[in-house]
């Protein structure tokens, strides 16, 4: 654990001396705030329209869960946004180390491949959590000012889904970054891989195998407050697979540098 912690601290420190992390987090939060305000405005208008329509026909107003609809839609937008932002978080995790020649130093150190890979993975996951954390303010505002208040269990489930999806994409991004020395190439290849996963989701209707393999389809129940064991197992398996492939890639680097 001490060696994993050393790698973790080094990686987190490198993230926050680079302007890329600040730029990515800043742009993400600007877009997240914009989409949240648009979603909130849309569902408030929908609620008013239903109330006006009911009053015109002398009917009791229909119940419309604005906070719940806002949260579901917002988590759906966030799940799509991170497909574009995570490649920028993972692109330099190994590619930049290889380009600067510091990867060889890690290979000749007493650190094991597993310690290197897990330390880097946890560092990127921490940055991802930091990127998401300010969006909790939107949920706090909904809870404080809306009536009825949104169930906190739904918010917790939604964030759990986003966290699992993000961890899965980080594992994929790290593996791709370990295959090249160029951050730009790593970013494009990672984004391309995410697009393929997105296309699988779009074409999975009617196919049980493709539906199960769709990382976005597995996410759908989380914003509804439903935590499916199959989805938990799927994401955990995908994360382990991504880490395992990264381990094999790093191991091949060790053999080539020997």
Model confidence pLDDT, tens digit, residues 94-131:
888 888 877 777 777 778 889 999 999 999 999 999 99
Model confidence pLDDT, tens digit, residues 38-70:
998 988 887 777 667 666 666 655 666 778 888
Long-range contacts of 190-193 (CB under 8 A, 24+ apart): 190/86, 190/87, 190/90, 190/91, 191/83, 191/84, 191/87
Is pTM beyond 0.85? Reply is yes
Nearest to 21 by CA among 129, 148, 166: 129
Kindly list the distances between the CA atom of residue 4 and the CA atoms of 47, 53, 116, 140, 190, in Å, as whole numbers in the listed order: 51, 60, 7, 34, 25
């Amino acid at each position: 654990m001490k060696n994993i912690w050393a790698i973790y601290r080094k990686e987190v420190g490198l993230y926050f001396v680079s302007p890329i992390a600040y730029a990515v987090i800043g742009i993400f939060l600007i877009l997240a705030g914009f989409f949240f305000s648009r979603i909130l405005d849309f569902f408030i208008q929908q609620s008013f329209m239903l109330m006006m329509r009911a009053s015109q026909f002398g009917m009791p107003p229909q119940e419309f869960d604005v906070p719940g609809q806002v949260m579901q839609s917002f988590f759906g937008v966030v799940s799509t946004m991170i497909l574009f932002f995570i490649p920028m978080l993972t692109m330099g995790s190994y590619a930049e180390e290889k380009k600067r020649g510091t990867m060889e130093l890690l290979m000749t150190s007493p650190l094991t491949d597993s310690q290197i890979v897990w330390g880097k993975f946890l560092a990127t996951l921490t940055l991802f959590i930091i990127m998401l954390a300010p969006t909790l303010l939107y949920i706090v505002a909904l809870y404080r000012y809306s009536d009825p208040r949104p169930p906190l269990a739904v918010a917790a489930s939604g964030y759990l889904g986003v966290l699992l999806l993000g961890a899965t994409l980080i594992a994929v991004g790290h593996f791709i970054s370990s295959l090249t020395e160029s951050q730009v190439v790593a970013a494009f290849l990672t984004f391309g891989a995410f697009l393929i996963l997105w296309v699988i989701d779009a074409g999975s209707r009617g196919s049980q195998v493709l539906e199960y393999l769709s990382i976005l389809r597995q996410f759908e129940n989380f914003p509804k407050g439903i935590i499916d064991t199959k989805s938990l197992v799927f994401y955990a398996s995908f994360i382990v697979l991504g880490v395992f492939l990264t381990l094999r890639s790093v191991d091949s680097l060790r053999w080539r540098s020997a």
